Chains A and B, each alone.
Chain A
Amino acid sequence: MGFLTPAFLAGLAALAIPVLVHLTHRPRSETVPFPSLMFLQKIPYRSVRRQSLRHWLLFAMRCLAFAILALAFARPFFGRTGQAATTLAGAKVRVVLLDRSFSMGYSGRWARALEAARRAVGEAGPQDRVALVLFDRTPESAGEPSLDRAGVRAALDAARPGFGVTRYAPAFRLAQEMLDASNLPAREIVLVTDFQKAGWEGADDVQLAPSTRLTWVDVSDRAASNLAITGVEMERDYESGRERVIATARLVNKGPRPVEGAEVAFDVDGRTVRQQRASLGPNRSATVTFEPFPLPPAVARGTVRVTPDALPQDDTFHFVLAPGGDLPVLVLENGPPRGRSLYVQRALAIGHRPRFRVELKDAAQLQPDDLRPGMLVVLNDAPPPKASAKRLREFVEAGGGLLVVLADQSAPAAWPPEMAALLPGPFGAAVDRSADWGATLAYVDYGHPVFDLFRGPHSGDFSSARFFRYRKLEAKDGVLSRFDDGAVALAAKAIGKGRVLVWTSSIDTAWNDLALQPVFLPFLHQLARYSASHTESPAAHTVGEALDLSREAALQKDGATTLAPSGERSRLPAGSKGLELTEPGFYEVRASAGGPALQVAAVNVDRAESDLAAMDPEELAGAVTHLGRGASATRTEPALTTEEQESRQALWQYLLMAAFLLLATETVLSNRLSTRARSLVRTP
């Protein structure tokens, strides 16, 4: 038996009250009016002290009532005896798997889990080896199984729910490895978790050894409810030349209770700029679109947050708002622009992720300064400019993109050898397929980033495009697409840090009708992005991902300082390629402690963990144990915290009721005794 608030047991000292009352009770304290003391005064006085404790029953009832009251306030409860492997004979090794995913931060779960884990450690026999493994996506052992209970308890004391997602398979694997390393025959895993359904994938191939006994403690709440922001989409547009962002947050209510009027706020650099309210029914989702917000000139930190609930980690969504991101495209034609790039121009004008800034120019007029890093140069059926050929090569080697379109006016002779070396292979004369109703694209490398977008079914049909003429390209490597006769349609070649892609037909309607096909626009966008090696910095990362720092030249040379959301500073050595993101919030990477931020990364918890739906523990146990083949799995009662045990038993209520009944009985009895005594005396 335990007490939730044992300090109230000091109230037992109140037992002294009735004792003192009875001991100090004197006839003087109770006055009986009498007409005259004339005769009584003639009788010698006799002490009455011995008469004090006359009503022993009353005295006992009062003492008992005080004792019960003190017990009630101390909130007693009966602790349950453990059911775990205490029944196993002999020494054993026990691995306690404690889920520390962020869903364990749901109200009360972590306390229950800690209680259960402590109990599992405490119930181990003196010769048993115990180890603790904390797990979320990855398991982390607090040490090999040992007799050191203090070490395990210290690890438990230091444990906190993290920001990761639940994954059972790695934890089971590690636990089994630890058990296998032990020479003790009795082996047991005690799994303390909320049994999130998302943490187990049916494909996880984990099997515990037949000799391993699995015991689990389910700390989940059956009626758990959680409102989460699962993502924020940001659409950009331009108004009056100023870039704006339209944020749309997606809210999901995972739970049986509706959410009414939840406040959803959009913060930029810690200042709330937009605010809305949203209501969601049970197990419903909704989107909240904020009014357009003009992007600040510098990188800003955006956060969409909703009124915090029992699981606050997924009630905010961080992202980085970076201005710009345009991809400049320089289209070179043979001679003054005459509209041959109309389709290219129109198709690229539609894009906004990134926004393409298209410029047309005569290839002969190309100046070395026109080539800037990060841009894409399209030689649209134009020979390479002789004056800037070297500069163009340097541009590509430095990371620039070159898309070569070989059509009517692209004579092989017009390509000097040093420029022809940029191409995946030599090209030749045009092939006319108009006689057989044109060629089709027979091979497309959907695994390549250019075509990856069209990989899924109904994601774009290239076979409907007809190619009446194209040039033969003799490329051995880097072929991304071929016509039905085997001729190369698209080939790529990496030059230095840049890329050269060759399209062997026109990109208008002169040699084919691809420009009239629905796939033309996304294809051209993909082509442009890939050619220019354009990578869009993600606005938000997820906990567990790594921040790519390989492009930060300053970091590669001198190292950098990182500032985590928790305020923890750390030093990244020179040459570091990335930074592991372990907590939600904003990470900063600075060249020096006080210098400007090289990178700001927004990190969020994995929303898969927001779904608190629990799986049947038997299902998980059945999947990982050899049930029916000699292995065993046991369910233990959910470990309750002392507060919950006390709350469920609510012994204090009964005690309080008993005390009141006792006091009421005492009052009635006392009144009767007093009435009997006073009935003999009527005061005026």
Chain B
Amino acid sequence: MSNEETFEKFKEVAVEVLQVPADKVTPDARFAEDLDADSLDLVELVMALEESFDVTVEETELEGIETIGQAYDLIVAKL
């Protein structure tokens, strides 16, 4: 899977879970400020990403993750 395809797949999951328009899911988008996502949304997103990409994310890895780009990098590093 190319980087673009991987990001598209990531975006699809984010759009579905966070219920936001696709064009708002950009690498710089901040979960709280730009996407109006609360802590439960993030938990749901992580669980959905784990399922979609067949990876496991530890709680400690989520510290400091504030943007779509950071979350994407975290998942990609596990593929």
Q: Are A and B a genuine interacting pair, yes or no?
A: no
